[in-house]
A and B are shown apart, each in its own frame.
Chain A
């Protein structure tokens, strides 16, 4: 059948088909590699963990593949069978839920306690302070019309932001002006890019040079929200490389990186 069709094609049509066939042939072998272990990591870790992964690769020659997102979404995806071997949650509750469903190796390890910051982008006409006093004034007089936090439904940092705003008595005022990031790094992106006049997100993101240069922040006192106890856990079927990385995160080298990004470390 094909010779007839082939003859029916004009020259350009033939070229398109040959191109498609060649491209397909070139890409097909890419599927056969043995994959590095996949890691689900809370998005507050985006910059810190990239550094840890790079150091791990330098020291051991092994690589891991991170995906960043909101911890609550990862919990749901893991329940649905997502192929992750290690889960670094921003909230230990999700780790315990997975453990109760029998999907984890054990109950995991606390690797850090996160903090949140109040952030104002460059050019904002209000300034962040720990007690959210100027934010309150700016909300009252309309200097802040849009404010970014992560979605409290499934992002632990969004929930902490909500708690801090509630503690400050601002939740009802700020609510109609909230813009929700799908995860905390999207909330940070909204605020730091100036798309909103401010936001609350993770200290670990505010300390990254890419974000720090885009505005100013104030650390929100830890007692104004529930602690962000970040726990990691190996999932059933975790391989040697992911176990090695799990151990590496607890090494002094990795702890130094996490500390630099503002995490309180267990045992300190």
Chain B
């Protein structure tokens, strides 16, 4: 068992979740209530990572923020190391590929709140901020949490984009999914087997949690 890789994966998952929590809440809420032309296009763009091969995301990251690009050079000059092949680069990649996983369940949860409840709250003189924290979040939290759990589980399983923009640097970019691939190539099937089984159990547990949460969402509004 490669504990360095394992804890790196957990850390990547938690950082991604932390970044996507506000994104999921505000973008999800915005998409749930806003009516504007081109909304379908925005939703399609945010859902793209669901269907794109991770290598496409990896390729565009390399050509947009790689060491030889202007953004990459500004980053390197500011922080003293490159964005690609670093943990920060993995976080960026992970946030991008997980956008739909965080946003869509939150959006569905906000959409499920009856408009009359929000109207009643607004008529009662609550500010939009108070409506959010006192009415909407308590009603939508399961959807938001479901998105975050999904994001976390998906980050643990991400392989292609991590390999492309991360390389396989122990303690920096070698996540547990990469470590399994690495161990198989090193003829170390025992370690690969243990890590694969651990991921399998963790993924099953997380998905179990997600299904529990989604059944609660259904019960509340059904």
Residues of chain A touching chain B, judged by Cβ–Cβ distance below 8 Å, are 1-2, 4-5, 7-10, 13, 16-17, 20, 23-24, 27, 30-31, 35, 38, 43, 46-47, 65-69, 77, 79-83, 183, 185-186, 188-189, 192, 208, 210-211, 214
Contact = CB atoms under 8 A, between A and B. Distances in A.
A3 to B, nearest CB: 9
Contact of B133 (A5, A9, A65, A67): A5
B187 A192 contact: yes
A81 B209 contact: no
B14 A23 contact: yes
Contact of B209 (A1, A16, A210): A16
B82 A82 contact: yes
Contact of A67 (B14, B87, B142, B169): B169
Contact of A79 (B67, B81, B129, B149): B67
Interface in B141-184: 141-142, 145, 149, 167-172, 174, 182, 184
Interface residues of B, number: 44
A1 B184 CA distance: 49
B20 to A, nearest CB: 13
Contact of B174 (A67, A80, A186): A67
A87 to B, nearest CB: 12
Contact of B66 (A24, A46, A80, A185): A80
Nearest to A208: B187
Residue of A8, A9, A13 with most chain B CB atoms under a 10 A cut-off: A8
B14 A24 contact: yes
Nearest to A2: B133
B18 A83 contact: no
Given A17-B145, A186-B185, A211-B187, 17 more contacts: A4-B134, A4-B138, A8-B139, A9-B141, A16-B209, A20-B14, A23-B10, A23-B14, A38-B169, A46-B185, A65-B169, A80-B67, A80-B85, A82-B85, A82-B169, A185-B186, A189-B185
A16 B146 CA distance: 11
Contacts of B68: 79-81
Contacts of B134: 1, 4
A120 B170 CA distance: 32
Contacts of A43: 185
Residue of B62, B81, B141, B149 with most chain A CB atoms under a 10 A cut-off: B141
Given A24-B18, A68-B182, A8 B141 contact: yes
B206 to A, nearest CB: 11
Interface in B1-49: 7, 10-11, 14, 17-18
Contacts of A31: 11, 87
A142 B187 CA distance: 28
Given A24-B14, A38-B169, A189-B184, A83 B7 contact: no
B98 to A, nearest CB: 15
Interface of B: 7, 10-11, 14, 17-18, 62, 66-68, 72, 76, 81-82, 84-87, 129, 132-134, 137-139, 141-142, 145, 149, 167-172, 174, 182, 184-188, 209, 216
10 contacts: A7-B138, A8-B139, A27-B7, A27-B11, A35-B171, A68-B168, A80-B62, A83-B85, A185-B185, A210-B187
Contacts of A186: 185
B137 A5 contact: yes
B17 A80 contact: no
Nearest to A76: B62
Given A43-B185, A82-B84, A65 B138 contact: no
Contacts of A30: 7, 11
A208 B17 CA distance: 42
Contacts of A1: 129, 132-134, 137
Contacts of B87: 31
A13 B141 contact: yes
